[in-house]
Chain A
Amino acid sequence: MTYEILGITVLWLFLYGYLIVGSIDFGAGFFHFYNKLSRKNYQVNKLIQRYLSPVWEVTNVFLVFFFVGIVGFFPDTAYYYGTALLVPGSISIVLIAIRGSYYAFNTYGSKDSRVYSFLYGISGLLIPASFTIVLTISEGGYLDVSEGSVTLLLRELLTSTYSWSVVVLAVVSVLYISAAFLTYYSYQAGDRASHQVFRRYTLLWAGPAILASLLIFYTISRHNPEHFQNMLDISWMFMLSFLFFLGAVMLIYRERRLGLAFVLVMLQFFSAWFGYGASHLPYLLYPHLTIYDGFVNETMAAALIAAFIAGLLLLIPSLVLLMRLFLFDADYVRGNR
């Protein structure tokens, strides 16, 4: 494996981490607000707060890792994406800022506020939608690269069916992943009522999630046939993803082995995510930038990888401790601690 492939794989893995943890977090925030609005089932909200509270900062770090890492491993991305993404990137920053701070204000402040809950519930759904712009742009055709400057073709972006189908997929996936996790978590907590609510949400969003992915296949085949052809070459990864999906929905429908069901959901997205990523290579930005011409010098690459391994050795035990204390401590989940 070359340094280039290793680097992009590590980064892609982090983005996958963000996809899962962030989806759980953003979806939970939205459900929290939705349930509050409809004054249903206050129990659910307490449960969501319980899950979210200890891990909220961790979510954000996955994202920071990705964008610091990509400039480290592929400095030329800063030039292309940095110049083009000023406006959409700034909007994402504003959303993240609103989401993070109002979540904290609502949770740690003295009272649970409806306005704060609205702000972080809604901004949480808009964040994934706004971030997908980066993936959309990477397919090419939305940037004007001429001598010495890069500009975003906003009209092309906003009128493209491909870019909107990516947005739909992002939002629907967030709700689906989050609901699947909370189905399992509420079951662990012994909260029957909430469990039923989230089970219904999961089954409700499962169909749209799959339909949205099909829509992506269709629109990408028209927008970037080269990429689509590469996807067909590794179509087994997407088939696998579909099988994981069927397994997960089946288990949740029958209310069996919910932990495994969520693992299947994670695998569903893992195989699709890496299928998409692998078929995208070698391009970081169609057709201007590949992982080979944009790669950092070898000395820095080795240093970054060494730092990365050292960092993981430090972080993994800490994360395990965090999960053992909160997510998977039966007493904590049930609210006894």
Chain B
Amino acid sequence: MFLEYDAAVFSRMLTGLTLGFHIIFATIGVGVPLMIAFAEWMGLRKHDEHYRLLARRWARGFVVTVAVGVVTGTSIGLQLNLLWPNFMQLAGQTISLPLFMEVFAFFFEAIFLGIYLYTWDRFKNRTRHFLLMIPIVIGASFSAFFITSVNSFMNAPRGFELTNGVITNIHPLAAMFNPAAPTKTAHVLVTCYLTSAFVLGMIGAVKMLKGDRHVYHKKALQLTMTAAFVFSIGTVGIGDLSGKYLAEYQPEKLAAAEWHFKTQTEAPLVVGGVLKEGNNVQYALEVPYALSILAHGTPSAEVTGLEEFAQEDRPPLIVHYFFDSMVAIGMYLVFIPLLYLVFRWKKPGWLHHKVLLWGIAAGGPLSILATELGWVYAEVGRQPWILHDIMRTPEGATTSEHVDAMLYLFIGLYAVLGISSAVVLRKMFKNNPVAHELESRGIDRRGGSS
């Protein structure tokens, strides 16, 4: 509207919009099946119908989010071709294998999800129904793995040679298992699990804050917070390894995130702050040696600074804030489940204290926010490249003159889908509250709280 038309800029905005909307549903789509599997498994092992109902209700809500995840996933899949035809022409030659396999993994998941949803009471042996969840978890996690390996290829392109615009010597597996793949895929997977645990934990916490003290919700909290603790520790560990990956393969991305300008040993970690003229950092908290440790594991290590790179090859410096906010939320997501477990161990009386419940409830939206921030950092931090050191972003974009109109069209679409799915989910659970379902299924007699 007020911008001068530039197809590449609008293509970036539209891709960012679609991905930003899609990853909310994709994250839930990858993580929630695992949580459902945990709940159903607990129900079987402990012969506890509460856990089984938990799995059942989660699955019911999950279906709605999956639907939006599927259609927005189709949307991004097509948009990659429509908005980045030149990039996809090159990508088709080099990285189409995991893209192709992602569809298989998702197909596998979709088939079993269809079966799972409609067979709750169909098998005499209940373990069989639980077993259906395993291919769903595998399919969901593998599709995340494959698609993230494509993204990691954009960060660390391998498995081909480019001479005078001709691609030769192609190795599809080397492209897929590029140096960025291990840390990136692990990071995406574990944070999907973490976010899902928090989103589901949030539901229980909100119910309890509203005064529903049913043991059903307490069991939900215990399950989700225990899982969240494990995943949050995993997130921290993988985050550390990601730092080491960046230091070695994309030092400018790390340096931009840390506002680290001069190459130096014993580098401190810059937290927060404001950038003044001449790359002077002010009001920041500096943690001595921390960047050297993050980058190379030892306090004395030398960390490459941003000044080693030509101006036109540097990522925008704003990514510092995205990175810091993501890490701060990550810390919060370690702290809350840790607090929960400590209370359970030492101070059971405080376990369902209002403050902790609020803390868990806030973890839901915060974890999604961290996912968004992480994606923005990952994508903006890779700029100016769409394919690191090989293709600059504008070179990959379409030349079409109508990307702006499409951007507005999709803003409208996602607004409508977002609102509709929220309304549908709300109605679904409002019209069939837990207490009612516990009773109608004969799990509880009246007043089952403890």
A residues bordering B, Cβ < 8 Å? 53-58, 60-61, 63-65, 67-69, 71-72, 74-76, 78-83, 85-87, 89-90, 92-94, 96-105, 108-111, 148-151, 296-297, 299-300, 303-304, 307-308, 311, 314-315, 318-319, 321-322, 325-326, 337
Contact = CB atoms under 8 A, between A and B. Distances in A.
B438 interface: no
B421 A78 contact: no
A321 B417 contact: no
Contacts of A303: 97, 172-173
B89 interface: yes
A208 to B, nearest CB: 30
B101 A311 contact: yes
Given A83-B398, A299-B171, A68 B100 contact: yes
B86 A79 contact: yes
Given A58-B111, A79-B89, A83-B398, 12 more contacts: A61-B107, A61-B110, A64-B103, A68-B102, A75-B89, A75-B90, A75-B96, A78-B85, A82-B81, A83-B400, A86-B403, A99-B71
B82 to A, nearest CB: 5
Contacts of A100: 67, 70-71, 74
A79 to B, nearest CB: 5
B402 A87 contact: yes
A296 B92 contact: yes
Contact of B71 (A69, A97, A296): A97
Of B84, B85, B101, B427, the most chain A CB neighbours within 10 A belong to B85
A69 B118 CA distance: 31
A85 B410 CA distance: 16
B118 A75 contact: no
A54 B424 contact: no
A208 B346 CA distance: 76
Given A71-B88, A110-B427, A297-B167, A94 B82 contact: no
B406 A325 contact: no
Contacts of A54: 114-115, 117-118
Interface string B53-95: 0000000100110111011111101110111111011111110
B358 interface: no
A87 B78 CA distance: 12
A294 B90 CA distance: 12
B114 A55 contact: yes
Contacts of B403: 86
B299 interface: no
B119 interface: yes
Contacts of A68: 77, 96, 99-100, 102-103
A107 to B, nearest CB: 9
B117 A109 contact: no
Contact of B81 (A63, A81, A326): A81
Contacts of A111: 427, 431
Contacts of A75: 88-93, 96
A58 B114 contact: yes
Contacts of B114: 53-58, 322, 326
A82 B172 contact: no
Contact of A86 (B66, B82, B171): B82
Nearest to B18: A93
Given A58-B111, A82-B88, A100-B70, A300 B97 contact: yes
B101 to A, nearest CB: 5
Given A71-B92, A76-B89, A83-B399, A90 B67 contact: no
B67 A104 contact: yes
Contact of A61 (B81, B106, B173, B420): B106
Contacts of B93: 75, 296-297, 300
A85 B424 contact: no
A320 to B, nearest CB: 10
Contacts of B413: 94, 97-98
A81 to B, nearest CB: 7
Given A54-B114, A318-B108, A97 B63 contact: no
Nearest to A84: B400
A300 B118 contact: no
Contacts of A337: 122
B172 A300 contact: yes
A326 B112 CA distance: 12
Of B82, B91, B135, B409, the most chain A CB neighbours within 10 A belong to B82
B350 interface: no
Given A55-B114, A97-B72, A100-B71, A105 B421 contact: yes
Given A89-B82, A303-B172, A57 B113 contact: yes
A74 B420 CA distance: 38
A234 to B, nearest CB: 30
A318 B135 contact: yes
A93 B427 CA distance: 27
Please list the 9 inter-chain residue pairs (A to B) with the smallest Cβ-Cβ separation, ordered nearest first: A75-B92, A82-B85, A104-B67, A72-B96, A78-B88, A311-B104, A57-B110, A100-B71, A97-B71
B170 interface: yes
Contacts of B78: 67, 89, 92-93
A179 B102 CA distance: 33
Contact of B82 (A63, A85, A321): A85
A239 B207 CA distance: 65
Contacts of B410: 90, 94
A105 B420 CA distance: 8
B409 A90 contact: yes
Given A64-B77, A86-B400, A105 B64 contact: yes
Given A78-B92, A94-B409, A307 B60 contact: no
A63 B74 CA distance: 9
A258 B54 CA distance: 43
B443 interface: no
B96 A325 contact: no
B164 interface: no
Given A54-B115, A101-B71, A296-B93, A86 B88 contact: no
